Amino acid sequence: MTPTISSHPRYQLALLGFGNVGQAFVELLLEKQDDLIEDPGLRFQVVGIASGSHGRAVNAQGLPLQEVIAAYQGGKSLDGFSSTPIADSEAFIQTCGADVLVETTPVNYECGEPALSYLRNALKAGMHAVTANKGPVVHGYRELTNLAEKNGLSFLFESAVMDGAPVFSITRCGLPGAVIEGFSGILNSTTNLILSRMETGETQEDAIAYAQSIGIAESDPSGDVDGWDAAVKVAALITVLMDIPFLPEQVDRTGIRGLTPDLIQDAAQKGKRWKLVCEGVRDVNRPWGVAATVHPEMVDQGSNFYNISGTSAILEINSDVLGKLTLIEEDPSPRTTAYGLLADILNALKD
């Protein structure tokens, strides 16, 4: 006999942050809801959505997701969908009553706050904590992981690096017992897009303006152009994959501001391309036991990095047992980041 829908367990979700990724997650959840009921046999209900600019809504009976999205995109407050007034994000966490908190608030490179506290308090409140935020991974990985284990919960963050590509899952589940000796890659989509457009003759300023026009770059692009976003991702990978606590300021960092159209064209004449290359390698002679860099490099056609253009990304992981393992993500979008969040939720509930 085929189980009825009502026989499947239903889990309550709360979303803290409702920008492009949060909305893409809700749309993906609506698209996948029938598939998830069939396999793995789970039902989901969103009982809370909190936005930094459009209010907060909590309703234990579930929120009307299509209406919420329409209201948000129309510039309206979400407060009208709430069954009770919610004063702030901390009150939202304590009130929502969810099984899983999905956190997608803006990243803080320097200390990971306030997202770090949000995730800590969610775990203390008995919720699985899932995030796309790099800051808490860098600044609170061990603390949050230990707190989750203590409470029989999960702290997962697959979307923090390379959007939805299973960077952390590959090493956690696919390489048990392996030692990660190092990695290298192109991890910042914005700078890779800028450099690709400069190869066509655009100035860096024009390429940045284009990236801003399509929503890839922020109004202040310095986090990408100066290499901070890449440095945070390098620190996250070292912290998790290599089990060495590492901070962005420990990364030897140079952005792409110094790359002029002349340098780009000179490289092209030599059959090469400039890429912002990220690297972390174990080195017992370094103070922290690892050498970490974010630098512009010229790569030739023999490099796997040469054909990684536009917003695509690549990561090469070196281990003591498999040698080099390469993961490529082509043209990521908020939907791919949303999938990383959904995969984390499914893994958390499975575990």
Query: pLDDT tens-digit profile of 215-252?
Result: 888 889 999 999 999 999 999 999 999 999 999 999 99
Residue 254 is predicted with a pLDDT of 98
Residue 6 is predicted with a pLDDT of 53
Q: Average pLDDT of 290-303? A: 97
Residue 1 is predicted with a pLDDT of 39
Task: Judge contact between 240 and 139, C-beta under 8 A.
Answer: no
Residue 3 is predicted with a pLDDT of 45
Query: pLDDT tens-digit profile of 92-126?
Result: 999 999 999 999 999 999 999 999 999 999 999 99
Residue 7 is predicted with a pLDDT of 59
Residue 2 is predicted with a pLDDT of 44
Q: How large a percentage of the chain has pLDDT more than 90?
A: 87
Query: pLDDT tens-digit profile of 1-57?
Result: 344 555 578 899 999 999 999 999 999 999 999 999 888 889 999 999 999 999 999
Query: pLDDT tens-digit profile of 155-169?
Result: 999 999 998 899 999
Query: pLDDT tens-digit profile of 242-289?
Result: 999 999 999 999 999 999 999 999 999 999 999 999 999 999 999 899
Residue 122 is predicted with a pLDDT of 98
Residue 212 is predicted with a pLDDT of 94
Fold for the domain defined by 172-331: Dihydrodipicolinate Reductase; domain 2 (3.30.360)
Q: How far apart are CA 87 and CA 85, in angstroms?
A: 6
Residue 61 is predicted with a pLDDT of 96
Would you say the CATH fold of 172-331 matches that of 5-164+335-350? no
In terms of CATH architecture, what is 5-164+335-350? 3-Layer(aba) Sandwich (3.40)
Domain residue ranges in the chain: 5-164+335-350, 172-331
Q: Average pLDDT of 278-305? A: 96
